[in-house]
Copies of this chain bind each other. A is one copy, B any other.
Amino acid sequence: MRFELTILGSGSALPTSNRNTTAQVLNVLERFFLIDCGEGTQHQLRKFKVSFNHINHILISHLHGDHFFGLFGLISSMALVGRDRALNIFGPPELKHLLQTVLKPQFEKTPFPINFHPLNQQSPDVIYEDKVLTVTAFPLKHTVPVWGFLFKEKPRLRKINPVKISEYNISIPEIQYIKNGAHIERNNQIISNEELTHDPLPPRSYAFMTDTLFSRQHRDLLMKTDLIYHEATFLHENISLARKTTHTTARQAGIFARETQIKHLLTGHFSPRYKNESLFETESREEFKYATAARDGDIIIWPYNQQKAFQLIRGNDQWELLINPFQK
């Protein structure tokens, strides 16, 4: 029942020796979503041991190169290793034509189907849904159209109290109804669902927001999300540059996290002009204590039971993330 994020690239437009351009993989119960795909993403997948065969869904936030130039090579490599399963790509409408144009000299037709899902809505919209999960795209503010993505487990079924099953001689078909919230009748009396069940564990959630100007537009949508990855391209001393280039500062990301009452903030998309990533972490924490500056290779593991701790794996180290107690 994994819910797990791997950071493949936490840098901004110019890759550096320890920070690649944007890409990350979210694993929700063995559904692997690749979110953005900067140049070298296939190399990072290999380095951080995420098989690209698992990826059936790729979400591209916008058409700046540091968010999608790795897509061409990844698709080519998928073809080379004999993929035949369909690949779903969600992205700005023009991406479809770009892909066709670039891949054409190589493949008249890729050996596996590519289902392209254009993002063009101007308000939050569910772009993916299955039994356990929804993904909502929501527009951000940048120099070109950009979308953020919210991943949310569906509310889980109520947990039936096993003692009650024998006490009321509950049948198997009844169990399913009860898990969905139904009351039952015994001897002309209503046995309430509350008596039969416990509250389920709360669903887990994650949101990805880069590139964007600082904006409160989607605060309600994102309220109490578990974890948000928010860009923090600049430190606040460069706020005018952030505004000019429609990016966010580490301080603003902290403000957003605090106001959205999330559990933990992960920042990234750092400009290479700053020597030390801890500057970003420190600045965000002045606004919201529960913040981490991402590094390439970071793995964040959501607990199945939300009372338990979030884990961060960084290289050979592993520790618990400090969680906003408001949300505990």
Contacts and interface: CB of A to CB of B under 8 A. Distances in A.
Interface of A: 13-17, 20-21, 38-40, 42-43, 46-47, 62-66, 69-70, 72-73, 76-77, 80-81, 92, 94, 97-98, 101-103, 105-106, 144
Contacts of A98: 101-102
Contact of A47 (B17, B38, B42, B80): B17
Given A39-B39, A65-B73, A70-B39, A14 B81 contact: yes
Contacts of A144: 105
12 contacts: A14-B80, A14-B81, A17-B47, A38-B73, A40-B40, A40-B43, A43-B43, A64-B106, A65-B103, A69-B72, A69-B102, A102-B102
A81 B13 CA distance: 11
B39 A15 contact: no
Contacts of A94: 105
A235 B95 CA distance: 39
Number of copies: 2
B105 A64 contact: yes
Contacts of A101: 97-98, 101-102
Nearest to A103: B65
Given A17-B46, A47-B17, A73 B39 contact: yes
B76 A65 contact: yes
A42 B43 contact: no
Given A97-B101, A102-B102, A106-B65, A39 B80 contact: no
A8 B76 CA distance: 20
A38 to B, nearest CB: 8
Listed residue (A17, A62, A101) with the most chain B CB atoms within 10 angstroms of its CB: A101
Contacts of A76: 13, 65-66, 69
Contacts of A39: 39-40, 42-43, 69-70, 72-73
A20, A39, A94, A144, most chain B CB atoms within 10 A? A39
Contacts of A43: 15, 20, 39-40, 43
A72 B65 contact: yes
A245 to B, nearest CB: 11
Contacts of A66: 73, 76
Nearest to A65: B76
A21 B73 CA distance: 10
Given A64-B105, A98-B101, A105-B94, A80 B40 contact: no
A21 B70 CA distance: 13
Contacts of A77: 13-15
B73 A69 contact: yes
Nearest to A39: B73
